[in-house]
Structure 1
Amino acid sequence: MSTNRELQDWYFTQLGGGEGTKEGEWLKVSEFPTTVHVELLKQKKIPDPFLGLNEWDVQWVGESKWAFKSSFSVSQEELDAPNIDLVFDGLDTFATVALNGHSILEASNQFVAYRVAIKDKLKVGANELILCFESAFIKGRDIEQERGKLALWNGDSSRLHVRKAQYNYGWDWGPVLMTIGPWKPISLQTYQNRIIDMDLRSDISAALGVKLTANITFFESAPGLASFTLKHPDGSIETSVDKIPTDEGHCTFSFDWAPGKLDLWYPVGYGAQPMYTAEIELANERGQVLDRKSLKVAFRRARVVQDKLVDQEGLTFLFEINNIRIFCGGSNWIPADSFLTTVTAERYRAWLKLMVDGNQNMIRVWGGGIYEHDVFYDICDELGLLVWQDFMFGCGQYPAYDSFLESVRLEAEQNVKRLRHHPSVVIFAGNNEDYQIAESLKLELDYSDETSDFRETNFPARYIYERTLPEVVGKHSDIYYHRASPYSGQGKPTTDRTLGDLHQWNVWHGSQEPWHNWDILAGRFVSEFGMQGFPNIRTVDHWLGGDKTERFPQSRINNNHNKADGFERRLELYLVENFKHSFEMESYVYYTQIMQAETLASAYRLWRRNWGGRGREYTAGALVWQINDCWPVTSWAIVDYFLRPKPAFFAVSRELRPFTVGMTRKDRQTFLDDRSGAQFTIETILEIWGTNSTLHEKKVTMEIVIFDLHSDWTNKLSKNVILEPNSSTELYKGTLPGQPIRTKKSEIPKVLIVSARLIDETGEILGRYSNWPEPFKFIHFPPVADLNLKATVGTDGESIVLTADRPIKGIVLDVDGEDVKWSDQAIDLVPNDPQTIKAVGLNGRKIKMRFLGDGTA
C-alpha cells in the first residue's frame, strides 16, 4: 500500500542574515505550512502590518531571501519501496530545493504542485531538505528588465511576469505584502503503483437521465486489477464494478441511470445538495491493495444559456441548473487574508455560511487571488453555492513567451483537474478585466479575428485566453469556458450591455453616475459593481491601534487603510449629493455605510425586476464587489475582515429574499406646448413590482401605506396579486397618491413615504420595502422626540421589537463593548409595522440607534 507522510519539524532563516534572523540562525516555525511574515509576527520580529502604517515597515521581508529546512527520518522499509517522491503542494514562489545536498527542483509558480522522484537521493536515517526562496518582487523586476514592461491596473508591473497571487503586490483594497514560503503541505510518498488521475464526467440529458463515465490513469502499466464503487450519500452502494484490468495503465467504464434514479444536486433554494462518494482501489496480481482514492461527486445539468430575448437586443447570459433558470445573486470573493496559511477551514465555512444566510447563491473567485483550497469548494458543494471561477490573471497586459506559456498550461491543467468534479463550479473565466485593459490602451484587439496566433501582437495574452485555456478546459472538463470577465462576444466590446457579462463601474469609477441610474446601467449579467463603505467602528479602532489623535476620517492612518485612488473625492461626491453629514468619526462611518447599503440594495432591486420570465431575462445575475476583505480596511466589501457584516450586507440580503417588493418614483414633466418653457406640469410616477424566485406562483396581498412625514395624513391601498414563478411581476404604475401635480419648480413636493408589504394567506410578511423621496439631504426630518422610536427587548433577552410613530430611515443598531450578532441593519421603519430583530450576545446592554435625521449630522 502506498504511504503519504507530511513533513513537519521545520526551521527558517533569512539568508545572509538581516532584520529577520542573524546569519546562520535558524528559528523553529510555529506551524506548517507557513510563510515568512506569519512566522516573524509570531516571533515578534516585525510589527503587525495590519495596524497603523506598519505595512510600510515590513517591505524588506518580501525583498529578502529566505530558507526553510526540515530533517526527516527514512526507514529501510520505506527505502525499499519501488518509488519514493517528494510532493510540494505549493511553493510561494521562486524556490530552489535541495535534498541531502542534491538540487532536486527549481519552482517558479505559486499555483503549481511539484512532484519529484527522490529514491536515489535518500538514505536510511536522517535526511535534510532545504528550500531556498528568492524575492518574487526582485526576481520579477529582473524578468521584466529582460522581457519588457507591460501595462496594468494595480500593483507593480513586474507582477505580470510572475505566477504568484497578484493581490500581494497591492490592490485598490489591499496592502503590499509580498508573501514568501511553503504555503501548502510537503509530503513524502512511497508506492509501487498509484492512481494519478480520476476523471469522472457526468452527462445529464435534457430529461435528467445520468451517464457517468470514469477515465482512470495509473502511474505505470502493470498487471493488476482495479475496482470502482459509487456510494449514495447515505453510505449505501449505488453501483460498483471490479476486476478492471490495469495492464495498459488506464481504464474506462461508464454507467447509466434513467431520470429520477439518482438524486440531483441543486443550488441553494432550489433543492438538496446530495454528494456521492466515488472510490477507486488499485491492487496487484496477488490482490494486495496498492493505492486507494476517493472523490465527492454530484450530478447536475449545468448550462450557460445565451438565447435571443423578447423586446430587447442581444442575448441572455444566464445559468440553468437541471433545467431551472437561476437568477444569480451573490458576491465576488478575494483571498480572505493577506497571509493565506492563517485561513482555517472554520473561517472558510463562516464566510460561505454567511453568504447563504444572506440569501446569496453564487460566488465569483476573482482572478487576482488564488485558486482556492479544496475545502472552499467542498463547502460550496455542501451549501449549494454556485462558483464562478476565474483563472489567475487580473487587470494586466500579460505576456505569452514560451516559458510563461508552459508554466500557465501546467497551472491550468492542474487546477482544472482539481476543480472539475465539484458540482458548484459552473464556469471558468479566462481572466479579470484584461480585455478592458486592451480596449482602454487601444491595443491590437480585433474581435472579429478568430484565427490569428496573437503572440506577436501587443496583446499577446489573447493566445492564453483564446487558445491555451479553452483547450485545457475542453480537454480536462465539461465546464463552460468564458474568455474573460467581463466579456461580451459577438465582436462587441466589454462595455456592451446586451451580451455576456458586464463590470458596471460607472457608479464609483467611470462616469460616476448616481446610484439611482442602476436601471439604465444594467447588463445581461453584472459580475462586478459596488460602492465603498467604512467597516464597523471597532475595526477602524483596531487599525488605529489606540491612537486617538488619528480618529477622524481624513487621518493619515485612515487614509492608509483605504487603497482606492481618489476615494475621498468619490466618497464625498456621493455623500454630498445625497446626505447631510458630519465628519465626526462614528457619524462618518454611519453615513458611508448607509450610502453603501442604499446603493447596493437599489442595484439588486432594479436588476431583479429585469428577471422577467422566459425570454425576458434581461438581467440574469448580480455579483457585488465584494463580500470580503484580506485585511482591516475601508473598501467595497459588505462584510469586513473580522466577519462583521456592514449594513449593506443586510440590505442586500433583504433584496435577495425569495419574495420581494420594489418601487421607483420619478418625476414626469410635461410642457403645455413646444414654445413655452414656463408652462408645464410635474407629476410623480410610482411604479411597483414584486419578485418570486420560487418555481410556483404565489398569491399574496400587496399592502401599500403612504405617509406624509410632516402630518398625520396617510393613504392605504390593498390589492390581491399573483407573483409569477421564477420572475418579476409588474404590480402598479400611476401617479403617486397624495402628491399634488406641480406647475412650478418652486413648489416643493410633499415628503411622502410609500411603504409596501407582501403578505401571504397566513399573515406572514414575505417582503417589505419603504420608498423615500431622494436625495435625502432635502428632507427636513421631524424632531427625534416626535418619533417615539422604541426598541423593546423580549423576555429571551435577544429579540428586539422596533416601533415608531413616524417613518424612520436607515436605523443602525449598536451597543458599547463587543459587537452583537444582529439579524438585520439599515432598517426603514414605519408606524403600525413593528419589526423584530435578533441580537445574539446583547447580554442586557443598552441599545444605541442611529438613523437619518437623528441630529448627529
Structure 2
Amino acid sequence: MEAPATVPGCVHTDLLAAGLIEDPLLADNEKTSQWIGWADWEYRTVFPGVTAEQADLVFHGLDTVATITLNGIVIGTTENMHRTYRFPVRELLRDSNELSVHFASAERFAADRGGEDWPNPFHRPYPVIRKNACNFGWDWGPDLVTAGIWRPVELHTWHTARLDSVRPVVRRTGKGWSVAVAVEIARAADDEVTVSADVAGVSARTRIDGTTAELVLEVADPEVWWPVGHGEQPLYELTVRLGDNLDVWRRRIGFRTVELDTSPDEIGSRFVLKVNDKPVFARGVNWIPDDVFVSRVTPQDYRERLGQALEANVNLVRVWGGGLYESDDFYDVCDEVGLLVWQDFLFACAAYPEDKWLAGEVEAEAREQIVRLAPHPSLVLWNGNNENLWGYEDWGWPAQLQGRAWGAGYYLDLLPRLVAELDPARPYWAGSPWSGSQDLHPNDDRHGVSHLWDVWNDKDYLAYRDRTPRFAAEFGYQGPPAWSTVVRGIGDAAEGHQKAADGHAKLARGLTEHFRSPDDAHFRTQVVQARAVRVGVEHLRAARPTCMGAIWWQLNDCWAGPSWSVVDGDGRLKPAWYALRDAYRPRLIGLDPDLVVVNDTDAPWTGTATVTRYDLAGTVLESVLVDVDCQPRSALRIPTLTSAFVRATFDGETADWLPDLGLPVARLTASCVPAPGGYVVEVKAHTLLRELCLFPDRLDPAATVDTMLVTLLPEEQTRFTVRSGKALAAADLTTAPVLRCVNDGLSIP
C-alpha cells in the first residue's frame, strides 16, 4: 500500500485523505482500524542538496519508534514522541537526497517490552513507551495507535555556532526584576563569539569562550503579568542573539512571581497558588489532546477551545499527564489571555519502569520540555504525574509489581531535581492526587490535591457536598454530546462510543435518582451533567479558603461520545458548559439550601438579598431579606429559608433550590423573530419551568445559542439569541425537540 503523505501528519490521516480507510472516528470504524497500529510504515521523500558549513536534519516530533535513513545510511533511531531530534548530515548530502523514516509498530514495540505486565486500568502496554498514553485508548476516547511525523521537520544550515538552548528565569528582586538568561551553544569552529540579550529596553552582552553563558538583565519597573480576573497580561519580547547574525531566539515573557503555599494549618496543610503574592482560587478545567490525530490541531483550534474556557470564566487549565506537552501555540494563547497552566509530566494511571532504557528517555524528554516551556508566564505549576501515587496505594499494584521500581523515583527524585535545576522560579508537586508526604494517603482531603471520583463511580452528584478537599484537581460527571454531534459521529455505532466502565449504567443511575422515568435520556442526562457541574463547583467555591481550587474534568473532547467534557468532540457547547460558566462567575450566589455567596473580585460585595419560598404553582409563601457582606476574594454561607422551592436574588444574580418531582406540566408561549446573524426566541412561562433549553444545532449543526438552563416562574420571560447562517423556521425553533425543559410534558398554546 502506498499513499501521498502530509507532514506534519500521521498514517491514519494520510490513509483517510487517500480514500483507503473510512474515518476511524465515525460510527464503529475504530474497530476496523486496529490493524493500522500493528503495521510498520515508511515515509519517503526526495529533496535537493545545499552547500553549508553545517547541515542538520531536525525532527520536531516523531511518533514514535523510528529509524531515519538518508541516502541509504542510517543516521539515527528514536523511541520518544515527546522529544526533538537533530542529526548532522552535511557529509551525506548530495545534489539529490533520498530521505526515509521507517516507523515500527508502537503496539508491537510496547508488547515486546512487556508493557501489559505493568499495572494500568486499561491493560494496555503504554507504560513502556514514551508516547501519549491516551493514544492506546482511554475511558473517554478511542484506541487508535498512530505513527508518523507529527511535528515539522527541517534541514537547518548554519556556520560557526548556533544557539542550542535559551532558558530565561524571571525573578523579583529588591530593586525590581531580573531576567537571568542561560545560553548553551553548539560550535562548528573555535571562533570567538558573543551573545546578547535584550528585553523591555534593557540589554546585556558577553563573550562565550566555551559553550555556555549567562546574562542577567535588570528591569526596574515593568508592568506585571496577572491571571485573568486579577489584572492585565503585559508581555515583553526577549531577544537573544548569537554574534551579529549567527542565530536569533525570540520569545515573549511576563514579569510575575508564582509560589505554592503548602504550609500546615488547623485542618492539615494548604494547597494555594499565589501569583505576585496574591492567593488565586483556581477556577479550572482539565485539558486532553483536542484531536485523536494530534497533528491536526491548529493554532486556531487552540484559540477557539481556550476561548471557550475563558468565556466559561475559567482561569486555569491543567494539561493532563496522559496527553501531550502541547505546542507553543497553546501556551502563547494562555499567556495572552491570562489563563494559568498546570502542566503534568506525561505519566498517567500506571506503574512505569525505572530501568535505564526508559529512565534515560524520561530525563531527556523532561529536560527539553522544561526548557521549552519555561519562558511562558502562564505556566505556574509542574506536576509529576496523574494518579500514579494513588494507584500504587489503592489499586493493588504492589502484588503485580513484585518489588519492581514503578515510577516513584521519577516523581519524588528525578523530576523535582530537574525543575529545581532548570526552572527554579516555578513550583513542582509530585502528583495529582498527592498529599505532600509518603506518610499520608495520596487522596487525603485534609492535605494537598484530591480527586473526587467517588461521585461519578458510586454516588449521586449531590454527594459532592460531602467532601471538602484543599484543592480538587479532578471531579467530573458524564453527559452525551450535542445531538448533531451524535448524528454525525456516532450514528448506529453499537456502543455509542461509551468507553467508561459501566458508563451507560452510571448515566442511567443519575436519571433514576432525579426523574420518574428514563424517557428522553439524551436531554435529561445532559441536564444531570450540568447539575453536577453546578453542585460540585458551587460547593468547592463556597468552601474557600479551606478549598482553593476546583478543576473540572474535563473541558474538551477528541471524538463524538459521552464523556465528562463540557465542550464535545465537534466543539459544540453542552448544557454543562453553560452551567460551568454560571458556576465560575466571579460573583456567584447559590442555594444548597443555605445561601452561598462567593466574591472572587477585588471589591466588596455588599447589600441585601431577597430569599423567597414558593409553592410549585409559583405562589409566594414567605419572603425574607438577608444582609450580605462578602469581602474581596472570599465566600460566605448564610442559613435561610428551606423548602421544596426557594429563590434567592442579590445584585442581579439569581439562584434556585427546586425539586425534581412534582413539577407541573409545562405551559408557555414562544415567539421567534429574525435578528442580525440569526434569531431571537422569546419565551413566556405560564407555569413554573425548570431548566429551559434551546438546541438550534438540531436544525443547523453550526448554530449556537447564548444561554441554557433557564428557570422561570409563571409569567416570567426570557430570550435566547441564536446564531445561524441558515433560514430556520420559527415553528421549529419554538417547539420540541429544539425547545425543551425538564417538566413532565410540554404544552405550547
TM-score class, shorter = over 0.9
Partners of 1:627 and 1:714 in 2: CA distance: 40
Secondary structure class of the residue paired with 1:265: coil
Contact 1:222 1:249 in 2 (8 A): no
The SS at the match of 2:113 is helix
SS in 2 for 1:464: helix
Q: Is the 8 A contact 1:155 1:170 kept in 2?
A: no
Q: SS of 1:408's equivalent?
A: helix
Alignment of 1:275-674 (within 5 A): 275-283=235-243, 288-309=244-265, 312-443=266-397, 457-478=403-424, 479-490=426-437, 491-509=439-457, 512-545=458-491, 550=492, 557-583=493-519, 587-611=520-544, 617-665=545-593
Asked if structure 1 preserves the Cα contact closer than 8 Å seen for 2:567 and 2:573, the reply is yes
Distance 1:504 1:791 in 2: 43
Q: CA-to-partner distance for each residue in 1:704-733, whole Å, 9 max, x for gaps?
A: 232211363443333452221101123x31
Q: 3-state DSSP class of the match of 2:354?
A: coil
Equivalent position of 1:746 in the other structure: none
In structure 2, what is the Cα distance between the partners aligned to 1:133 and 1:282?
36
| Aligned residue number for residue 748 of structure 1 | none
Contact 2:595/2:640, CA 8 A, preserved across alignment: no
Q: Does 1:246 align with 2:208?
A: yes
Partners of 2:465 and 2:422 lie apart in 1 by: 39
SS of 2:487's equivalent in the other structure is helix
1-side partners of 2:37 and 2:518: how far apart? 40
* Distance in 2, Cα, partners of 1:36 & 1:784: 52
Larger radius of gyration: 1
In the alignment, which residue of structure 2 is the partner of 1:152?
120
Q: Which amino acid aligns with 2:114?
A: E
User: 2:664 matched to which residue of 1?
Assistant: 782
Counterpart contact for 2:62–2:149, Cα < 8 Å = yes
User: Deviation of residue 27 (structure 1)?
Assistant: 2.6
1:191-231 deviation line (CA, Å, top 9, x unaligned): 121111111111125x8932221122221364022222214
**SS of structure 1 residue aligned to 2:343:** strand
1:47 paired residue among 12, 16, 22: 22
Contact 2:433 2:451 in 1 (8 A): yes
Shift in Å, 1:185: 0.8
Paired residues of 2:529 and 2:576 also in contact (CA < 8 A): yes
Q: Distance in 2 between matches of 1:784 and 1:278?
A: 61
1:693 and 2:693 aligned: no
Is the CA contact (8 Å cut-off) linking 1:708 and 1:714 kept in structure 2? yes
846-855 or 825-834, which moves further after superposition?
Answer: 825-834
* Secondary structure of residue in 2 paired with 1:703: strand
Q: Deviations over 1:16-69 (max 9, x none)?
A: xxxxx1xxxx4322x321110001001110111112211111111111111001
Q: Distance in 2 between matches of 1:662 and 1:61?
A: 51
Distance 1:433 1:307, change over 3 A: same
Amino acid at match of 2:28: L
Within 5 Å, which residues of 2 pair with 1:642-791? 642-665=570-593, 687-710=594-617, 712-730=619-637, 732-736=638-642, 752-759=644-651, 765=652, 767-773=653-659, 776=660, 779-785=661-667, 788-790=668-670
1:809 pairs, out of 690, 694, 699, with: 690
Corresponding residue number in structure 2 for 1:28 = 4
List alignment gaps of at least 5 residues for structure 2: none
- The structure 2 residue matched to 1:852, chosen from 719, 733, 742, is 742
Per-residue Cα deviation, 1:568-607 (whole angstroms, up to 9, x for no partner): 2211112111112344xxx211010000001110011111
Q: Please report how far the alpha carbon of residue 464 of structure 1 lies from its aligned counterpart in structure 2 after TM superposition.
A: 1.2
Distance 1:202 1:543 in 2: 46
Out of 250, 262, 268, the position equivalent to 2:222 is 262
**3-state DSSP of counterpart to 1:523:** coil
Q: Counterpart of 2:441 in structure 1: which amino acid? A: P
> Is the CA contact 1:331–1:364 (under 8 Å) kept in the aligned structure 2?
yes
Per-residue deviation, residues 328-378 of structure 1 (Å, max 9, x unmatched): 112111101111111111111100000001100111111111111111111
CA contact (8 A) 1:228 1:241 kept: yes
State whether residues 497 and 524 of structure 1, in contact with CA within 8 Å, keep that contact through their aligned partners in structure 2.
yes
What is the alpha-carbon distance in structure 1 between the residues aligned to residue 252 and residue 351 of structure 2? 38
Q: CA deviation at 1:642?
A: 0.8
Match of residue 824, structure 1, among 703, 707, 715:
707
1: CA distance, partners of 2:89 / 2:695: 59
Q: How far is the alpha carbon of 1:253 from its aligned partner?
A: 2.3
Cα-Cα RMSD: 2.1
Which of structure 1's runs of 4+ aligned residues deviate more than 6 A?
none
Whether the aligned pair in 2 keeps the contact of 1:704 and 1:755 (CA below 8 Å) is yes
Q: Unaligned 5+ residue runs, structure 1?
A: 1-20, 232-237, 446-454, 551-556, 612-616, 666-686, 740-751, 760-764
CA deviation after TM superposition for structure 1 residue 734, in Å: 4.0
Distance in 1 between the 2:744 and 2:278 partners? 46
1:560 deviation in Å? Answer: 4.3
SS in 2 for 1:596: helix
Give the deviation of 1:88 after TM superposition: 0.8
CA contact (8 A) 2:472 2:549 kept: yes
The CA deviation at 1:403 is: 1.1
Counterpart residue type for residue 646 of structure 2: V
Q: Secondary structure at the match of 2:435?
A: coil
Question: In structure 2, the residue corresponding to 1:219 is in which secondary structure?
Answer: strand
In the TM superposition, residue 854 of structure 1 has moved relative to its aligned partner by 3.9
Q: Which amino acid aligns with 1:566?
A: D
Deviation of 1:255 after TM superposition, in Å, equals 2.8
Q: Distance in 2 between matches of 1:734 and 1:99?
A: 76
The answer as to whether partners of 1:369 and 1:392 remain within 8 angstroms in 2 is yes
Distance 1:494 1:127 in 2: 54
1:717 and 1:84 mapped to 2: Cα distance? 78
Aligned to 1:139: 109
1:802 and 1:222, CA in 2 relative to 1: closer, same or farther beyond 3 A? farther
Do the aligned partners of residues 856 and 494 (structure 1) sit closer, same or farther apart at CA in structure 2, a change above 3 Å counting? Answer: farther
Contact residue 127 and residue 350 of structure 2 kept, 8 A: yes
The answer on 1:161 being equivalent to 2:140 is no
Is the CA contact 1:208–1:301 (under 8 Å) kept in the aligned structure 2?
no
Is the Cα–Cα contact under 8 Å of residues 75 and 87 in structure 2 kept in the other structure?
A: yes
Distance 1:306 1:558 in 2: 48
CA distance in 1, matches of 2:196, 2:176: 24
Corresponding residue for 1:115?
Answer: 86
Q: Deviations over 1:135-158 (max 9, x none)?
A: 00011111118xx811111251x2
- Mapped to 1, the partners of 2:665 and 2:444 lie a distance apart of 47
Q: Give SS of 2:314's match.
A: coil
CA distance 1:795–1:470, change in 2 (3 Å): closer
- Where does residue 234 of structure 1 map in the other structure? none
CA contact (8 A) 1:92 1:180 kept: yes
The answer to whether the Cα contact below 8 Å between 1:364 and 1:389 also exists between their aligned partners in 2 is: yes
1: CA distance, partners of 2:354 / 2:212: 33
Task: Confirm or deny: 8 A CA contact 1:365 1:390 kept in the other structure.
Answer: yes
The number of residues matched between the two structures is 731
Distance, in Å, in 2 between the alignment partners of 1:702 and 1:120 is 78
